[in-house]
Amino acid sequence: MSRTYKIKECFYTLQGEGAQAGRAAVFLRFTGCNLWSGREEDRHAAVCKFCDTDFIGTDGTNGGRYTLVQCVELVASLWPGGGRPYVVCTGGEPLLQLDVPLIEAFQAAGFEVAVETNGTLPVPEQIDWVCVSPKADATLAVSVGDELKLVYPQTEPSAHPSRFAELAFSHFFLQPKDEAGQNHLSATVAYCLSHPQWRVSLQTHKIMGIE
Ligand SMILES: C[S@@+](CC[C@H](N)C(=O)[O-])C[C@H]1O[C@@H](n2cnc3c(N)ncnc32)[C@H](O)[C@@H]1O
Ligand SMILES: Nc1nc2[nH]cc(C(=O)O)c2c(=O)[nH]1
Ligand code: SF4
Ligand SMILES: [Mg+2]
């Protein structure tokens, strides 16, 4: 019996964030994270406290347990044809499950493979686009990638943007923290104006009203 991947949900949408914002993509959301259980009652004690995502279980759109072949079939079935097929592996923390055989199987099916990771786990070099989003209280294990996308502000000094500015990324983004009753946009704009290495990343899917 071959291994299975636990998938929360899988859907076709536009990448909302970062340097690839606006690009059509199949999102594959893996179940589970190493920085929060995903349960509201644990949020205050979690390493990562501001998460905007439900990544528990397999009950979302197209969720379930999939073998490698089934996973690739699912993702490929959601691509409409044309363009450059693109799959964004997210979660939860996708690198708890995403492995080299699955990455290479997506690529063999014609997909470019992206990952959204919290940067605490090693990143397989086969991945085509690596987005790292460091978290204040988690040790950063990744210092190279395509984009570093820091949720801002995180009040802890360990997550100040200056801590990441010298790392080997091609793009540096500050993404305003989406937090009930708070507006972090003006602080994000102000930091980017005074530190031009950084660009603003808006969560444009939320503005557009898509997944
Ligand atoms: C839900 S996470 C999943 C991938 C991975 N665990 C990570 O943290 O990068 C996807 C992206 O959403 C960002 N994010 C999570 N909660 C957010 C919030 N409340 N406001 C803005 N961005 C948020 C994360 O930092 C990450 O860049
Ligand atoms: N449209 C869209 N873009 C995204 N970029 C990163 C996301 C994520 O949750 O990882 C996300 C998401 O959930 N939806
Ligand atoms: S590391 Fe990512 S998935 Fe995990 S709790 Fe934080 S934002 Fe959510
Ligand atoms: Mg999201």
Count of domains for the chain:
1
The pLDDT of residue 29 is above 90: yes
Q: What pLDDT, on the 0 to 100 scale, is given for residue 2?
A: 83
The pLDDT of residue 1 is above 70: no
pLDDT for 109-148, tens place per residue? 999 999 999 999 999 999 999 999 999 999 999 999 999 9
Output DSSP code: residue 47: S
Cα 1 to ligand 2 centroid, rounded to whole Å: 32
The owner of tokens 């305003």 is 176
* pLDDT above 70: percentage of residues in the chain: 100
Answer yes or no: is the C-beta of 53 below 6 A from any ligand 3 atom: yes
Q: How far apart are CA 87 and CA 171, in angstroms?
A: 20
Residue 89 annotated as catalytic: no
Q: How does strand 199-200 pair with strand 168-176? A: parallel
Residue 52 annotated as catalytic: yes
pTM for the model stands at 0.99
Query: Annotation-wise, does 92 bind a ligand?
Result: yes
Choice among 17, 30, 51, 164 that is catalytic: 51
Answer yes or no: is the C-beta of 178 below 6 A from any ligand 1 atom: yes
The ligand minimizing its distance to the Cα of 27 is 2
Answer yes or no: is the C-beta of 52 below 6 A from any ligand 1 atom: yes
Query: Annotation-wise, does 172 bind a ligand?
Result: no
* pLDDT above 90: percentage of residues in the chain: 99
Quote ipTM for the complex: 0.99
Choice among 27, 30, 164, 172 that is catalytic: 27
The ligand minimizing its distance to the Cα of 25 is 2
The pLDDT of residue 63 is above 90: yes
Q: Quick one: average pLDDT of 182-198?
A: 98
Choice among 48, 71, 89, 131 that is catalytic: 48
Question: What's 156's domain CATH number?
Answer: 3.20.20.70
pLDDT for 89-113, tens place per residue? 999 999 999 999 999 999 999 999 9
The owner of tokens 């959301």 is 29
Q: Quick one: average pLDDT of 160-186?
A: 98
Residue 71 annotated as catalytic: no
The pLDDT of residue 56 is above 80: yes
Q: What pLDDT, on the 0 to 100 scale, is given for residue 85?
A: 99
Q: How far apart are CA 107 and CA 102, in angstroms?
A: 9
For residue 83, count other CB atoms closer than 10 A to its CB: 9
Cα 129 to ligand 3 centroid, rounded to whole Å: 19
- Provide the residue range defining the domain that includes 12: 5-208
